[in-house]
């Protein structure tokens, strides 16, 4: 299974990404975690991106693409599955990622879109700020990250819909309900992924299905 996560900050990419990775026994490649790790280690790359991260700006495409290419090569040796969390964040990254995937015969099978409204996202991120103290979880920086998401990241969702690999899920529910719906959808897609070519598929919108997955 090869999954991309497309979601605004605070929607639960990290949490759902980790659950998907465990469920399918595939690596969880999280670009934000990889970048924060560089910053924490004070590597040359870390020093060059620290400011971008703390201002909530995107780091240059080339840096993340190189990181993800290296992670894909490792994932290929490990069976070829992955859940990629945090990339692509703009259309240029989406195109470039597709080329990397084609070169390695590892293009994504599913683009999982976690949907949530800004009010809920800001509330979650401010709660997380108290617990984790991430340098980009202050209200002005959260607002900047959300603006960037709406302006440059969200448009990619249509691109995945047109490729027939989009699955949309309502993320404004308890973690376990979102997880149940995500894993059920991905399991249902497993045979499709293996046997039906992308151009013959339709995107799947599960956002109206809350009740079937435990919403009261
Ligand atoms: P969030 O989605 O909550 O903003 P992430 O951990 O995914 O958190 O990303 C944190 C930061 O890392 C981003 O604000 C950005 O500065 C940087 N980043 C992560 N992935 C990318 C990417 N694909 N392209 C550019 N910058 C990125």
| pLDDT given at position 134 | 86
**Could you tell me if residue 156 is inside a domain?**
yes
Residues 140, 164: contact at Cβ < 8 Å? no
Residue 212, Cβ density class (10 Å: 0-12 exposed, 13-18 middle, ≥19 buried): exposed
Rounded to the nearest whole angstrom, what is the distance from the C-alpha of residue 31 to the centroid of ligand 1?
A: 6
Pocket probe mutation, ligand 1, options 58, 88, 140, max atoms within 8 Å of Cβ: 58
The binding-site residues of ligand 1, defined as CB within 6 angstroms of any ligand atom, are 9, 13, 31-32, 35, 52-53, 56-59, 64, 86-87, 89, 93, 136, 145
| pLDDT given at position 216 | 43
Residues 158, 205: contact at Cβ < 8 Å? no
Helix spans in the chain (H): 13-24, 31-41, 44-55, 61-77, 91-104, 118-132, 139-148, 156-163, 175-195
**Could you tell me if residue 139 is inside a domain?**
yes
Domain holding 113: CATH number? 3.40.50.300
Pocket probe mutation, ligand 1, options 4, 29, 32, max atoms within 8 Å of Cβ: 32
Q: Which residues contact 61 (CB under 8 A, 6 or more apart)?
A: 90, 92, 93, 96
**Could you tell me if residue 54 is inside a domain?**
no
| pLDDT given at position 30 | 98
Pocket probe mutation, ligand 1, options 59, 87, 120, max atoms within 8 Å of Cβ: 59
**Could you tell me if residue 43 is inside a domain?**
no
**Could you tell me if residue 41 is inside a domain?**
no
**Could you tell me if residue 20 is inside a domain?**
yes
**Could you tell me if residue 74 is inside a domain?**
no
* E strand or H helix that includes residue 2: strand 2-6
Could you give the count of Cα atoms lying within 13 Å of 32 in the half-sphere of its Cβ?
Answer: 20
pLDDT in tens, the chain (216 residues): 999 999 999 999 999 999 999 999 999 999 999 999 999 999 999 999 999 999 999 999 999 999 999 999 999 999 999 999 999 999 999 999 999 999 999 999 999 999 999 999 999 999 999 898 888 999 999 999 999 999 999 999 999 999 889 999 999 999 999 999 999 999 988 877 766 666 666 667 777 665 555 554
Q: How far apart are CA 166 and CA 56, in angstroms?
A: 26
Domain count, the chain: 1
**Could you tell me if residue 106 is inside a domain?**
yes
Q: Look up the pTM and report it.
A: 0.90
In which domain, by residue range, is 174 found?
2-30+80-208
């Amino acid at each position: 299974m090869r999954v991309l996560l497309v979601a605004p900050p605070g929607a639960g990419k990290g949490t759902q990404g980790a659950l998907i990775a465990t469920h399918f026994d595939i690596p969880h490649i999280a670009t934000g975690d990889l970048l924060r790790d560089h910053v924490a280690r004070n590597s040359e790359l870390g020093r060059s991106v620290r400011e971008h991260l703390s201002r909530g700006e995107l780091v240059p495409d080339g840096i993340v693409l190189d990181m993800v290419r290296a992670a894909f090569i490792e994932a290929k040796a490990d069976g070829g599955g992955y859940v990629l969390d945090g990339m692509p964040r703009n259309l240029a990254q989406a195109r470039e990622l597709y080329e990397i995937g084609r070169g390695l015969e590892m293009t994504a099978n599913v683009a999982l879109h976690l949907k949530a409204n800004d009010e809920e996202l800001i509330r979650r991120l401010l709660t997380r700020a108290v617990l984790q103290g991430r340098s980009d979880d202050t209200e002005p920086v959260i607002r900047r990250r959300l603006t960037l998401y709406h302006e440059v990241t969200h448009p990619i969702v249509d691109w995945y819909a047109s490729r027939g690999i989009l699955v949309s899920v309502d993320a404004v529910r308890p973690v376990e309900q979102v997880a149940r719906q995500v894993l059920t959808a991905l399991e249902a897609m497993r045979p499709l992924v293996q046997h039906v070519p992308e151009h013959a598929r339709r995107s799947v919108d599960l956002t109206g299905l809350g009740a079937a997955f435990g919403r009261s």
